[in-house]
Amino acid sequence: MLGIEDFFLKSIMTNPDFLSTGPVHNVNLLLPAFFDKVQKSILLYKQSYPAQDIFMLETYRSNTLQEIYFNRGASKLKKDGMHHFGIACDCMFVIDGQRTFKGDVELLRRIHEFMGLTILGMWDSLHVQYIPVGEQQALRAAVTGRIATFQKESGLPVTSEPDGATITEATNQFPRWA
Ligand SMILES: [Zn+2]
């Protein structure tokens, strides 16, 4: 689905931050086509506010951290949110040299929608993602299927999960971060 499952297998599962328990800011863990669109959104926003800047505060999120957020009530999802697949990020503004959430949130959200990206409700107002909420289940299934295919091809037990043996094998076959 849009190359996301391949990106997950080859670039996310193999990244040293895959199991990170802290927030990840690395934009290399975002699907390049998604990253491009968010960057264009930011450029458009800055046409209205040349003195402001926007950066991508949290990009990829491990399932361990997702569960921590869930237990704190900070997220409605226990695992496999769109951050986990490299197709969501949370933005933050820089105004007068200070990081803040109080930029023109409404304008940024309208620009994201104009770019064909998906935003959520105001309860998560600075989150943006690559696919509509209605396609999330299909994406999760596509990723599971891709992992199972990889496990079959590599002679591994087919768990359809990114278990330790599968991460090791993927890292050997796709040494992108070595
Ligand atoms: Zn988010």
pLDDT digits (tens, 9 = 90+) for 99-109: 999 999 999 99
What's the 94 CA to ligand 1 centre distance in angstroms? 18
Q: Tell how far the Cα of 90 is from the centroid of ligand 1, in angstroms.
A: 5
pLDDT at 178: 76
Q: Is residue 9 part of a domain?
A: yes
- The number of distinct structural domains making up the chain is 1
Residue 121 lies in a domain: yes
Helical H segments across 54-104, by residue range: 63-72
- Rounded distance from Cα 57 to ligand 1 centre (Å): 9
User: Is 59 part of a structural domain of the chain?
Assistant: yes
155 Cα to the center of ligand 1, angstroms: 36
Full-model pTM: 0.95
Ligand 1 center to 153 CA (angstroms): 34
Low-confidence ranges of the chain (pLDDT < 70): none
Residue positions counted in the chain? 178
Is 17:29 a contact under the CB 8 Å cutoff?
yes
The DSSP call for residue 118 is: E
Cα(173) to centroid of ligand 1, in Å? 30
| Three-state SS at 158 | coil
In this prediction, residue 171 carries a pLDDT of: 97
Give the CATH number for residue 135: 3.30.1380.10
Residue 136 placed within a domain: yes
97 domain residue, yes or no? yes
The secondary element (H helix, E strand) that includes residue 46 is: helix 32-48
How many A from CA of 102 to the centre of ligand 1? 17
**178 domain-assigned:** no
Q: Is 114 a member of any domain?
A: yes
Q: Is 127 part of any domain?
A: yes
- Host domain of residue 24: 4-173
Q: If you average pLDDT over every residue of the chain, what do you get?
A: 96
Measured in Å, residue 151 CA sits from the centre of ligand 1 at 30
Q: Can you read off the two tokens belonging to residue 12?
A: 């996310």
Those residues with Cβ within 8 angstroms of residue 82's Cβ, 6 or more apart along the chain or in another chain: 88, 129, 130, 131, 136, 139
Residue 171 CA, ligand 1 centroid: distance in Å: 27
> What confidence score (pLDDT) does residue 167 get?
97
